[in-house]
């Protein structure tokens, strides 16, 4: 086992040294090759440009006197440049004037000279250079030369391979010496660690042989053994204490399970009682509604008959009082309707759907505005964001808020109602603003209470239940309701709806 561990760490150190050496050689070799090839390529292009200039100057008289023989003799001088495979001279009209080809090659010349410059085609440099004399273009020099980059690269690879092999051999010898110096103390420490794991004897210690980082590692290892020994003793004591606590907790869990069973039984009983109470409350609500409506209908009906049948036998004051009886009886009927709606709201299940709030507000307003006398209110309806909610309940919210706006602005010369909304990351804020009577902000806390009114019923009729219904509906949808106003300066009522669907139960 020890031999395997020794081989493993030595192998890793050897690979580390060799990999580092190889990486340095590869990076250096690549940099040198790129630099040399770039310089070699630039030197080849410069040499080709120089040859083209010499040929151009030498061939200028031949072109001027149309002497192809002299031009060909000039091109024959390129035999001294074995890397140039072919050359040609074109006259000013672009026709081939003279040419040269190395004997071992059979090459075709371009039909027309190209633009001035140098380019690489395969393994060759290709150059076109204009022959100019006294600012007059006499012709063009064409040269094709082998750049030999591939051969030079192969030579470099051969040299790089030899240098790499020699360097790796030296690195391998150095790594063998380092292994003996570095790994032996580590292997001795590993042997002590193995003995500790096998015997669970934390009193064993590794021998320190150096004062370097490995010596510090041995000291830290010995300190760790001492600390582990102390913690092992503490852990054993803790385990004994934990076993006792586990026994006690098992007894407590058994008692808790019995308590949960009893609690579930009680919850079941209370739930059944609440369901029965709700049914009784619903039955009571309908009974109260029926029992209260019957005498109200009688009061309204008989007072109406009294006015119609015996109106001539009573004076104006009596008729006024009979009218008060009728209006108050009708108001009490509305109050009964609002109370029933308020009491049933918490028990009614909501049908959530995506609602077009702009269309819902407009439709509600159109249905309400016709019920009020002159002057007709002017509505400024903004673009309202869609919301998720119960269409009937949110329609009731719009109906109550818009009805209040119409009612409290009805005494203005030009009633104005504004409906709009703003949104943030979490919710939409809708508001209804009017230019009506307004209210004292000191009594704002009473706005949303049942039967709470801030105006005289003779001035602005109502039951005082509408805003309480608004608040309860909005809260069930996960929103908030508030208002802002000053006496004589109109009022603004706000309510919010969350962007995510909220299933309220209030």
Domain C-terminal end among 123, 139, 168: 168
User: How high is the pLDDT of residue 419?
Assistant: 92
Three-state DSSP state, 140? strand
Q: Which of 71-85, 112-126, 342-356 has the lowest mean pLDDT?
A: 342-356
Is residue 106 one of the residues assigned to a domain?
yes
Query: Tokens for 58?
Result: 């030498």
| Average pLDDT over every residue of 460-474 | 72
Q: Are 484 and 492 in contact (CB under 8 A)?
A: yes
- Segment 112-151, tens digit of pLDDT: 887 888 887 777 788 888 888 888 888 888 888 877 666 6
User: How high is the pLDDT of residue 5?
Assistant: 43
Is residue 164 one of the residues assigned to a domain?
yes
CA dihedral (354, 359, 364, 367) in degrees, to 10, reads -140
User: How high is the pLDDT of residue 149?
Assistant: 66
Q: What does pLDDT average to over the chain?
A: 76
Which CATH number covers residue 437? 3.30.565.10
User: How high is the pLDDT of residue 356?
Assistant: 93
Q: Are 385 and 419 in contact (CB under 8 A)?
A: no
Q: Comparing 49 with 418, which gets the higher pLDDT?
A: 418
Q: Is the pLDDT of residue 504 over 80?
A: no
Query: How far, in Å, CA of 114 to CA of 137, rounded?
Result: 14
User: How high is the pLDDT of residue 54?
Assistant: 84
Query: How far, in Å, CA of 276 to CA of 344, rounded?
Result: 15
Is residue 447 one of the residues assigned to a domain?
yes
Is residue 331 one of the residues assigned to a domain?
no
User: How high is the pLDDT of residue 2?
Assistant: 39
- Segment 299-324, tens digit of pLDDT: 777 677 777 777 667 777 776 777 76
Beta-carbon-side half-sphere exposure of residue 317 (alpha carbons within 13 Å): 0
Query: How far, in Å, CA of 474 to CA of 389, rounded?
Result: 10
Q: Are 477 and 389 in contact (CB under 8 A)?
A: yes
How much is the pTM?
0.39
Query: How far, in Å, CA of 152 to CA of 34, rounded?
Result: 11
Is residue 225 one of the residues assigned to a domain?
no
Q: How confident is the model at residue 440 (pLDDT cuts 50, 70, 90)?
A: low
Is residue 140 one of the residues assigned to a domain?
yes
Is residue 266 one of the residues assigned to a domain?
no
Q: Is the pLDDT of residue 505 over 50?
A: no
- Segment 280-304, tens digit of pLDDT: 656 666 666 556 666 766 677 767 7
Distances (CA, A) of 397 to 13, 242, 296: 79, 61, 28
Q: In what order do the strands lie in the sheet with 416-423?
A: 378-381, 416-423, 427-434, 491-498, 481-485
Structural domain range at position 427 = 351-498
Query: Tokens for 28?
Result: 């250096």
Q: Comparing 209 with 111, which gets the higher pLDDT?
A: 111
Is residue 272 one of the residues assigned to a domain?
no
User: How high is the pLDDT of residue 420?
Assistant: 92
> Which class for 129: exposed (0-12), middle (13-18), buried (19 or more C-beta within 10 A)?
buried
| Average pLDDT over every residue of 94-101 | 84
| Average pLDDT over every residue of 464-477 | 82
Q: Which of 76-85, 267-276, 368-377 has the lowest mean pLDDT?
A: 368-377
Q: How confident is the model at residue 503 (pLDDT cuts 50, 70, 90)?
A: very low
Domain C-terminal end among 127, 145, 168: 168
Total domain count, the chain: 2
Domain C-terminal end among 124, 150, 168: 168
Q: Comparing 255 with 460, which gets the higher pLDDT?
A: 255
Which CATH number covers residue 74? 3.30.450.20
Q: How confident is the model at residue 277 (pLDDT cuts 50, 70, 90)?
A: low
Q: Are 464 and 342 in contact (CB under 8 A)?
A: no
């Amino acid at each position: 086992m020890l031999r395997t561990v020794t081989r493993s760490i030595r192998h890793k150190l050897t690979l580390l040294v060799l990999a580092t050496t190889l990486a340095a050689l590869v990076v250096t070799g690549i940099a040198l090759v790129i630099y040399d090839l770039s310089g070699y390529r630039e030197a080849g292009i410069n040499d080709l440009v120089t040859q083209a200039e010499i040929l151009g100057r030498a061939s200028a008289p031949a072109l001027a006197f149309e002497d192809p023989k002299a031009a060909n003799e000039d091109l024959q001088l390129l035999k001294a440049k074995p890397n140039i495979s072919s050359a040609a001279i074109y006259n000013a009209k672009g026709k081939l004037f003279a040419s040269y080809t190395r004997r071992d090659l059979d090459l075709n010349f371009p039909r027309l000279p190209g633009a001035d410059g140098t380019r690489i085609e395969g393994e060759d440099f290709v150059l076109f250079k204009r022959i100019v004399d006294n600012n007059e273009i006499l012709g063009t020099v064409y040269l094709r030369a082998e750049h030999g980059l591939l051969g030079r690269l192969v030579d470099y690879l051969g040299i790089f391979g030899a240098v790499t092999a020699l360097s790796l051999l030296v690195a391998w010898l150095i790594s063998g010496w380092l292994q003996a110096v570095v790994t032996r103390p580590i292997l001795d420490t590993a042997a002590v660690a193995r003995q500790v794991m096998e015997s669970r004897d934390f009193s064993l210690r590794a021998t320190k042989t150096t004062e370097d980082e490995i010596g510090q590692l041995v000291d830290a290892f010995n300190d760790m053994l001492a600390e582990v020994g102390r913690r092992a003793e503490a852990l054993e004591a803790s385990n004994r204490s934990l076993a006792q606590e586990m026994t006690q907790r098992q007894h407590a869990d058994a008692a808790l399970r019995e308590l949960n069973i009893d609690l579930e039984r009680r919850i079941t009983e209370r739930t059944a009682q609440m369901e029965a109470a709700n049914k009784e409350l619903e039955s009571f609500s309908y009974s109260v509604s029926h029992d209260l409506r019957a005498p109200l209908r009688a009061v309204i009906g008989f007072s109406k008959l009294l006015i119609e049948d015996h109106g001539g036998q009573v004076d104006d004051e009596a008729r006024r009082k009979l009218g008060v009886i009728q209006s108050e009886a009708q108001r009490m009927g509305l109050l009964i309707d609002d109370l029933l709606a308020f009491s049933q709201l918490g028990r009614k299940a909501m049908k959530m759907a995506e609602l077009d709030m702009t269309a819902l507000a407009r439709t509600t307003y159109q249905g309400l505005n016709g019920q009020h006398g002159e002057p007709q209110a002017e509505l400024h309806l903004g673009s309202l964001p869609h919301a998720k909610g119960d269409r009937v309940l949110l329609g009731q919210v719009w109906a109550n808020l818009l009805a209040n706006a119409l009612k409290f602005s009805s005494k203005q010369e030009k009633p104005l109602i504004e409906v709009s909304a703003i949104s943030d990351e979490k919710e939409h804020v809708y508001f209804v603003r009017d230019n009506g009577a307004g209210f004292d902000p000191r009594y704002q806390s009473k706005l949303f209470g049942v039967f709470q009114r801030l105006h005289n019923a003779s001035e602005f009729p109502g039951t005082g239940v509408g805003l309480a219904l608004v608040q309860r509906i909005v809260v069930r949808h996960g929103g908030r309701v508030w208002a802002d106003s000053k006496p004589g300066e109109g009022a603004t009522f706000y309510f919010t709806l969350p962007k995510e669907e909220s299933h309220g139960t209030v």
